Amino acid sequence: MGRSPSDLAVFVAKRLLQLVPVLIGITILTFVFTHLSTVNPCAQWFPHADPTTLANCRAQFSKPLYVQYWNYLVNLLHGNWGASVQGRPVYPQIAQGLPATLELVLASLFLMIVIGIPLGVIAAQSAGRWADHLVRIFYLSGWATPTYLGAVIAAIFVAPYLGLPSGGEYTNTPPPFPQYTHMSVVDALVAGNLSYTGDALVHLILPAATLAFINMGIATRMTRSSMLEVLPLDYVKSARMKGLSDFLVMYKHALRNALITTTTVLGVTAGGLLAGTVVIETVFRWPGIGNYAYYAIGGGGNTPNFDGAVAVVAVFAVGVVVANLIADILYGVLDPRVDWR
Amino acid sequence: MRTFWNVLRANPLTLVGFVLVVLIALTALIITVAPGLLTPYRSDVATNAYAQAPSWAHPFGTDGGGLDIYSEVLYALPFDLAIAFAIAGVALVAGGALGLIAGFWDRPGSVGGAVSVLIMRITDIFLAFPSLILALAIAVSLGRGVLQLIVAVLLTWWPYYVRLARGETLAVKHLPYVTAARAAGVTEGRIVLRHVLRNILEPVIVYFTLDVGTVLVTLSTIGYVGLGVNYPITPEWGSMMSTYQNAGLITSDPWTVLGPGVAIFVTVLAFSLLGDGLRDVLDPRSRRVLAGASTGGPTSTSPAERKEEADEALGRSKDLPGAALGEGSPAP
Amino acid sequence: MMDFAVSIEGLSIDYVVGAGRFHAVSDVSLDVPTGRVVGIVGETGCGKSTLAQAIPRLLPEPPASIGSGRIIFRGMDLVKIPLWKMPALRGTGISMIFQEPLNSLNPAFRVYDQLVEAVRMRRRREAGERVAGPRESPPFDYSRRPVPGAVEVLSRPVAPGGATAAAMRKTSSRHPELREEVLDFLRLVRISDPETILDLYPHELSGGMRQRVMIAMALSEKPALLIADEPTSALDVTIQAQVLTLMKDLIEEVQTSILFISHDLGVIAEMADEVGVMYAGRLVEFGPVTELFDAPRHPYTKALLRASPTRYKSDGPLASIAGSVPNLAHPPDGCRFHPRCPIPRPVCRVDPPPPLRPTDGPASPHRSACHFAQEVESLP
C-alpha cells in the first residue's frame, strides 16, 4: 500500500520536479512580454526618459533573442530584477512586500475556510430550502462585487461604521520593533508587543474579510456540491446509525470526504485571492506586492515600472502554481485511495 | 423550450436572475436606440449641477464635471455588456475549438497527440497567471483604448475555455454511443460535430453565462486601475470609479460610488444567479446525484474516477502543474 | 404476552416530490419479537427499504413524510420523537447494516477508527454518559447483554508473530482495552488475524470482508434491534453463503432481534423465522417461514414463488407475473394487486382487503390480505 511517509516524500518530490518546466515556462512568457510585446518598447515605456536611458534600452533589445533570454534568466536568479524608472531596485521591494501579502492572503483563506465551508455544509443540508437560498445569495453577492467596489465600500463606509481602521498595517508606522518577517501580526508577536499585535490584527481584519467575502463563492459552492454528492451515500447513514450526533455525522464523516473534492478548487481560489490583493492592498494601503503591482502597472495614472510589473506578475504566477501544488498534495493526503507511489 | 422553463422554475433565484438579465438586456437596447425614454440627459453633456448629492432630478447624483451619474451609468451599460459578451464569446469559440481539438485528437504518438500536448502546455502556462493580473499586464503594454482592452482580456480568457472544453470532450469521448457511432462508420468529423459538440455545449453554455459576469468584473477592474478605456470619452463603469477616485470625489462625495457600483453589482449578480442556477440543473454531476438520491444507489467511487470527476468539475486539465507532466493523453 | 423488540402499527409513509405524493408504504403493521428474525421480502420498489429506514427515522424527512402510524420501541413511539433526539436511540438501540459494503464504510477512515467509534459510543452510554442528545428511553440494563461468546475466544491467535505483530504495534496502543474489544468483534464475525486489517482502509478489503466489518461495527454496539437492509444482495453467491452462515451463528450468540430485508426468497427462507411479503407498499402476507413458503395464502406470494427458478423447476419458459408494478403515486383502487392477479373478482377492484394486523398469542398466525385467501391453495 503506497501510503507510508517515505512514499509521501516521493509523492511531493515528483510534484516539485514537475514545477520546474512550468516555472521555466513562466519566465519564457514574462520574457516574451518584456521583449516582444510592444513594437517600440522603449518609446512606450519611457516616453519622457532622457536619451541615454533610451539608448541603453535600445541596445538591450538589439541582441539576439536567446542571448536576451539567457541574460534575463541569469539576472532573475541573481536577484537582479531590474529597477523602476526612478532607479529603485525591484527585488528588495518585492521581497519585503511578499510576506505582507502572504499574511493577508492567509488571513483571507482562514476566514474563507472558517466561514465558507460551514456555509456550504448548511446549504447542502437544507438544499432547496430558504437557508440554501440565503447562502447562495451571500456567496453570489461576494462574487458579483468587483474587488475595487468591495474595497472602496469597506474602507470608506464599513470601516468608520464599525470603528475599524481603514488602512495600513499599524496605527503608527514604523512600529517600535524590528520587522523581521514583514508580517505585521507575526512581527508584533515576536517582539512581544501585545498592544501592537492587537493593533495589527485590527488592521488586518477588514481587508482580509473583504477579500474573503469576494472570493468565498467558489469554496462554498464546491463544498455544497460535494456534500450533496456525499450525503445520500450509505456511510453517512451508517454514521447516523452509530448514534453519532448530527454535528459529528456532518463534520466528521460527511465533510471529511466532501473536502477531498473541495481541495481541487484551492488553486483557482489562490489565483482569485492574489489578483484581489492588487486592489485591496492599494485601497487599504497595505504594503504588499499587490500594492506594488498596482503602481508598477501604472495604476492611478502613475508612470509604469516596467521591470517591476513583469517581476511581480511572475511572482503571482509562481504563487498560483505553488497553490496548485499544495492543493494536489493535499488531495493526495486526504483521499486515502490515492497511491503515493 | 419547456425544459428550459422547468430549469428556471427549479430554483426561484434562477428565475430572478433570468428576469434581471432580460431587463438589463432590454435596458441596454433601449438606451442605444432610444435613450430619451430612460433619461433626459444626453451622454457627456454637462448639466449645471456640479457634485450634487442624489435627488429626484439626479437619482445617483452628479459628478465633478456636472454629468448626471445615473445617465452615465446607463450609457455605459450597453458598452460594458457588449464588450463582456464579445470577449466571453470569442474566448468561448476560440478556446472551445482548441479544447475540443486537444481533447478529441490526443492519442499519444500521433500528430493529434503532439498538437494536443502543445495546446495544453501553452494553456497551462497561461493559466498559471491570475487572469486579472495577466490582463492588467497586457493592457499596460498595449496602451489605452477599447480594442486594446478587448485584446488584453481576451488573451487572458481563452485558456479557461480550452481547459473546460477539453475536460468535457474527454468525458464524452469514451461514452459508449460515440464508440458505437465510430463502429457504425460515421466519419470522425461528423462524430465531433454531431455527438461530441452537442454534449459539451451544455456545460460550456452554463460556464459562459457565469463567465460574462466575471469578464465584466475583470474589464471594469482594468478600468478602475486606470487602464483600458478613457472615461469620459467612453463610458465604462470601472473607469467612472477611477475618475471619481482620482478627482477625490469618493472621499468628499461618497455617493458617487453608488452609481457604477450598483450597476455592476446588479448586472454581475443577475448573470451569476442565472448561471449558478443553470449549473445546478445542467451539471452532469449534480444530475447524477439527483438520480442516485431517489434510488439510493451509489455514485462512482473508484479513486481514478473520483479524481477525474474532481478535475472535470473545474474543467481542470489533468496536466496542470502538479499532475504528471509529459503524459500525452489521460487515462480513459 | 410476547416481548417485542419493535412494534410497527399502521405505518404509512409518503414521498412528497414536486406536486405529487408517492405512497411508498401504506398501513403496514408488524412486530419483531425479541430474539427472532423477521424477514421482509418483495420486489424492488415495494417499500421494504423505505420501511426499514423509517424505523430509526433515517429517511430524509422533507421528501419523506410519515403520514400515520406508530413505531413502538422500548415503550416510545419513534414517530412522535423529534428527529434531534433520535441519535440517542440509534447504535445501541437500533443498528443497521446496508447493501453496498464499500459505500457503507467511510472510505476516509481506517477499519480500526470506524469500529472504535462504535465501541466508544456504546461504552459511554453504558457508563451513563449523555451522548448526542437527552436520553428519554427508560434505562436499559446493559449488564444483561451477553458478551461475545466462547467461540471467538478459541479462535484468538496464541501468539501473533511476524506481520501480525508488526501490525499490532501500529494501531493505537493508547487504549488497549478498546483495541481488544474491536479485535473481539472482528473475531466474532470470523475474521482470522483481525490485527492485520485494523490499519486498512475499506477500499483495501474484499467485499465479503467489508460486509463482515460492517456487521461487526453494527453488533459492537450490542443493539436491541438490528435491521439488515439487503446485506448480501451486492455480494457474490459464494461470499453471500459465508455471510449468511455467519449471521445465523451470530443470531444465537448475540441475541439481537433482526429485521431482515431482501428481495431474494432463498435468503429469506434461510434466515427468517417469520416472513412478511410486501407489494406496492402494502403488507400482503405474513406468517412463519416454512408455512408461508410451503402453502402461501396470497396470489402474489404464490406467483413470486412460482417465478423463482430455484424452487419450481420446469422445462418450459420461466414463469413471470404479468403486468408491472403499479405507480405508487396513483395506486390501483381496491386491492393493489388486482390488475395482475390470476383470480380477480369484482370485489377486488373496489374493496381493498383489510390490512394485516398482528394478533396476540404465542405464535403469529399465518395471515393474508386477500379476500379469497383460501382459494390460493388451488392455484397452479
Q: DSSP string of C304-339? A: HHHH-TTTS--SSPPP--SS-PPPTTSPPSSSTTGG
Give the angle B181-B184-B190 at the CA atoms, nearest 5°.
50
Same domain, B156 and B114: yes
In the prediction, which pLDDT does A205 show? 92
Q: In this structure, are B245 and B288 located in the same domain? A: no
Q: Do both B225 and B304 map to the same domain?
A: no
pLDDT per residue over A53-81, tens digit each? 777 766 666 667 777 778 777 877 777 77
Contact A241 C56 (CB under 8 A): yes
The string of DSSP letters for B235-284 reads --HHHHHHHHHHTTHHHHSGGGGHHHHHHHHHHHHHHHHHHHHHHHHH-H
* Any domain includes B56: no
Same domain, B244 and B162: yes
What percent of chain B has pLDDT above 90? 21
pLDDT at C134: 38
Which residues in chain C (85-124) have CB-CB distances under 8 A to chain A? 87-96, 98-100, 103-109, 117-118, 121
- The predicted pLDDT at position A47 comes to 58
> For residue B327, is it within any domain?
no
Q: Are C231 and C211 in contact (CB under 8 A)?
A: yes
Q: Is B314 strand, coil or helix?
A: coil
- pLDDT tens-place string over residues A162-187: 888 888 888 877 778 787 888 888 88
pLDDT of A98: 92
Percent of chain A at pLDDT > 90 equals 33
pLDDT of residue C187: 85
Angstrom distance (rounded) from CA A88 to CA A83: 5
Note whether B177 and B80 are same-domain residues: yes
A83-96: b (≥16 Cβ within 10 Å) or e: bbbeeeebbebbee
pLDDT(B186) > 80: no
Is B331 a residue whose pLDDT tops 60? no
- What the block records as the C-alpha cell of A53 is 536611458
In a shared domain, residues B267 and B297: no
Residue among A1, A260, A329, A254 at smallest CA distance from C170: A1
Residue B194 within any structural domain of the chain: yes
Cα gap C315→C306, rounded to integer Å: 13
Q: What per-residue confidence (pLDDT) applies to C154?
A: 46
Q: Which of A4, A241, A331 to mutate to test the interface with C (most CBs of C within 10 A)?
A: A241
List the single residue in A with minimal CA-CA distance to C216: A242
The pLDDT of residue A38: 52
User: First CA to last CA across chain C, in angstroms?
Assistant: 38
How many Cβ atoms from other residues are within 10 Å of residue B25's Cβ? Answer: 15
Place of cell 383470480: C343
The mean per-residue pLDDT over the stretch C269-288 comes to 91
Spatial distance between the Cα atoms of B13 and B5, rounded to a whole number of angstroms: 13
Mean pLDDT of B304-331: 35
Burial C332-344 (b: 16+ CB within 10 A, else e): bebbbbbebbeeb
**In angstroms, what CA-CA distances link C5 with C30, C72, C225, C255?**
11, 9, 6, 11
pLDDT of the residue at C313: 59
Residue C284, φ and ψ in degrees, nearest 5 = -100, -20
Interface test with B, best of A152, A235, A280 (most B CBs within 10 A): A152
Q: Is residue B86 part of a domain?
A: yes
Q: What is the pLDDT of residue B2?
A: 60
The verdict on residue B321 lying in a domain is no
pLDDT (0 to 100) of residue A204: 92
- CA-to-CA distance for C115 and C217, rounded, in angstroms? 5
Q: Determine the distance in angstroms separating the CA of B6 from the nearest CA of chain A, rounded to an integer.
A: 15
Q: Which residues pair with C277 in a beta bridge?
A: C41, C285
Average pLDDT over residues C297-302: 88
Is B326 contained in some domain? no
Q: Is C53 on the interface with A (CB under 8 A)?
A: yes
ipTM of this complex: 0.83
C-beta atoms of A257 and C92 within 8 A? no
Residue with the three cell numbers 454637462: B46
Q: Are strands C4-17 and C257-262 parallel, antiparallel or unpaired?
A: unpaired
Mean pLDDT in residue range C140-152: 45
Residue C305, phi then psi, degrees to nearest 5:
-65, -40
Task: Please state the rounded mean pLDDT for residues B259-268.
Answer: 92
DSSP assignment of C163-207 equals HHHHHHHHS--S-HHHHHHHHHHHHHTT-SSGGGGTT--GGGS-H
By the 8 A CB rule, do B145 and A286 touch? no
Percent of chain C at pLDDT exceeding 70: 82
Q: Does C49 touch chain B (CB under 8 A)?
A: yes
First to last CA, chain A: 9
Q: What angle do CA A18, A22, A23 make, to 5 degrees?
A: 110
Distance from CA of C62 to the nearest CA of B (A): 13
Cβ of B301 within 8 Å of Cβ of C49? The answer is: no
Contacts with B298 from chain C: Cβ below 8 Å: 100, 102-103
Beta bridge partners of C33: C4
Give the pLDDT confidence score for residue C173 in this predicted structure.
Answer: 58
Provide mean pLDDT across the span C75-95: 87
Q: How far apart are CA B243 and CA B73, in angstroms?
A: 13
B289 and B278 together in one domain:
no
B5: alpha, beta or left, given left = phi > 0 and alpha = psi -120 to 50? alpha
- Reported as a pLDDT band with limits 50, 70 and 90, residue B1 is low
Rounded Cα gap, residues C148 and C215, in angstroms: 13
Q: How far does Cα B46 stand from its chain's mean position?
A: 34
Q: What is the pLDDT of residues A246-288, one digit of tens each?
A: 899 999 999 999 998 888 888 788 889 999 999 999 999 999 9
Same-domain pairing of B288 and B242: no
**Residue B207 in domain:** yes
pLDDT at A175: 76
The answer to whether the beta carbons of residues A217 and A142 sit under 8 Å apart is yes
Distance CA C222, CA C256 (A): 8
**Phi and psi (nearest 5°) for C20?**
-105, 155
Contacts of residue A329 in chain B, CB cutoff 8 Å? 322
In this prediction, residue A212 has a pLDDT band, given cuts at 50, 70 and 90, of very high
Cis peptide before A174 (omega within 30 of 0): yes
Instruction: Please judge whether B301 and C107 are an interchain contact, meaning their C-beta atoms are less than 8 angstroms apart.
Output: yes
pLDDT at residue C172 in the model: 52
Cell of B215: 469578464
Q: Which residue has the higher pLDDT, C154 or C109?
A: C109
- pLDDT confidence bin for C325, thresholds 50/70/90: confident
- Number of compact structural domains in chain B: 2
Is residue A36 over pLDDT 70? no
At which residue does the C-alpha cell 448514534 appear?
A243
Residue B161 lies in a domain: yes
Q: Are B23 and B145 part of one and the same domain?
A: yes
What's the alpha-carbon Rg for chain C, to the nearest Å? 22
> What pLDDT, on the 0 to 100 scale, is given for residue C25?
92
pLDDT in tens, B141-152: 788 888 888 999
Backbone angles phi, psi at A35, to 5 degrees: -110, -15
Highest mean pLDDT pick, A242-256, B246-260, B271-285: A242-256
C135: closest chain A residue by CA: A243
Give the structural domain span for B290.
284-316
- Quick: pLDDT tens for C159-173: 333 444 444 445 555
Question: Which of A169-178, C223-232, C340-349 has the highest average model confidence (pLDDT)?
Answer: C223-232
Residues B180 and B296 in one domain: no
Q: DSSP class of residue A170?
A: S
Size (chain B), residues: 332
φ, ψ (nearest 5 deg) of residue C21: -110, 130
Q: Give the whole-angstrom CA distance, residue B277 versus residue A129.
A: 14
| For testing contact with chain C, the best of A4, A240, A242 (most C CBs within 10 A) | A242
Total-model pTM = 0.82
pLDDT bucket at A118, cuts 50 / 70 / 90? very high
pLDDT at B328: 24
Q: Give the model's confidence band at A310: pLDDT under 50 very low, under 70 low, under 90 confident, else very high.
A: confident
- Kindly give the residue spans of alpha helices, DSSP state H, lying in chain C: 48-54, 101-104, 111-126, 150-154, 163-170, 176-188, 207-219, 237-254, 265-271, 289-294, 299-307, 346-350
Q: Flag the least confident range among A232-241, C131-140, C166-175, C287-296.
A: C131-140
pLDDT, averaged across chain B: 77
What pLDDT score was predicted for residue C244? Answer: 86
What CATH number corresponds to the domain at position B21? 1.10.3720.10
User: Are B157 and B200 members of one domain?
Assistant: yes
User: Hey, which of A97-111, A195-209, B125-139, C182-196 has the most confident mean pLDDT?
Assistant: A97-111
Could you tell me whether strands C4-17 and C64-73 are parallel, antiparallel, or unpaired per DSSP bridges? Answer: antiparallel
| Cell numbers that stand for C360 in this block | 396476540
Q: How far apart are CA B174 and CA B176, in angstroms?
A: 6
What's the pLDDT score for residue C86?
Answer: 87
Look at residue B175 and give its three-state secondary structure: coil
Residues of B in contact with A265 (CB under 8 A): 314
Per-residue pLDDT for B320 more than 50? Answer: no
Backbone angles phi, psi at A38, to 5 degrees: -110, 150
CA distance C118 to chain A (A): 6
Strand partners, C225: C94, C257
Residues 89-108 of C with CB under 8 A from B: 100, 102-103, 107
Q: Assess whether B6 and B125 both reside in one domain.
A: yes
Q: Which of C84, C100, C221 sits opposite A242 (nearest CB)?
A: C221
What pLDDT shows up at residue C142?
43
Do B108 and B329 meet the contact criterion of CB atoms below 8 Å apart?
yes
